[in-house]
Structure 1
Amino acid sequence: MGQVINKLKKGDPTPQQVEKLAEIIDQVYEAELKDKDVKYDDLYHAIFLIIQKLRKKSGAMQYELPSKQELSDLFSRYHRRGGTLTKEECREIINGGIKLENFSVGQGAIDILLYLFGIPLCALMAKRAIPGMKSISDDVVVPLATSGSVIFLVKTHKL
C-alpha cells in the first residue's frame, strides 16, 4: 500500500523520467515541428502526440489520435459547403477518424489482465486435473490465486 501511495505523490520527476520525456519530445519535434512555420494548432497536436507516446511507454490502454493530416482530409471531405459545421458533418468526420484499429493495449495492461484472470483460471484447471485436489473448495483456490497474482504484480511494480 505504501508503494502505491509513493507512486501517487506529486513532486520532482526522477532523472530517468526526465530523460524519457526529453527523448520523446525530441522525437516529436523532429517529426512534427522541425523546419516548419509552427502555429498554435501544430504545437497543440505535438503535445497530444507526446502524451500518446508517454501512455504507450507506460503500457496503458488507450485510443490513438488520428494524425493531423487524416483529420484535415476528413474535414475537407465531409464539410464541403463551408460555414458552420452541422451535426451530421461532425458525426461523419468523427466516425471516419475513430476506428477500432486505433485502440491499442500496452504491455502493462496485457500483463495485468493475464495475471488477474489467467492465473486464477489456470489454478482452477490445475485443481481439477490433479488427483486428490478436489477436496479443496473452488472458493479457496480462486481468491488465493488472485491474491497471489496481485502480490506478484505489486512486488514487480507492475501495479
Structure 2
Amino acid sequence: MIRYDLLCGDGHGFDAWFRSASDFDSQEARGLLSCPACGSVDVRKALMAPALASARSRGGDEPVTPEAESPPVSLVSGRDEKLRGLLRELKAHVRQTSEDVGERFPEVARQMHAEEIEHRPIRGRATAQEAKALLEEGVPVYPLPAFPEDEN
C-alpha cells in the first residue's frame, strides 16, 4: 500500500491509499478520483517530502548518510498481526460451522428470528441498508472481518 498526498484543482489537499503507483495512475486516467471537499475530479499528486530522521532526533551528533543501515520496518505491529491472525481464525471457524445462504441472508435471518424456521448458524450477504434494517428489527447480525487480500 502506498499513501499519496493529493491536491484538487481548487487547492484542497487530502490523502489517499492505493495498492500501487500504477493503481493510482489507472484510477486517475479513468477519472475515478475526486476531492472529498468539493467533488472536483481534477486531482493530482501533491509534492511530498520524505520523512528523514535527523541526527538530533536519533539522539546522536552524526549526520544521516545514505550508507547508514536502517533496521527493517514493519508496516503492521506484532500486536496487530496477532489480532489479524485471531480474526482470520474466527472467520475460518464461522465459515466451517455455518451454512452459506448467500443473497437470501436477510430473508432467512428474519424467518429464524420470527421462529418460522429452525435456528441454525448461517452466513451470507446483505447490503448495509439490509443489515441496518435487520438490526432495527432486533435481528442480531455481525459482519465478518474483511482483509485486504479478500475480494470485497
TM-score normalised to the size of structure 1? 0.28
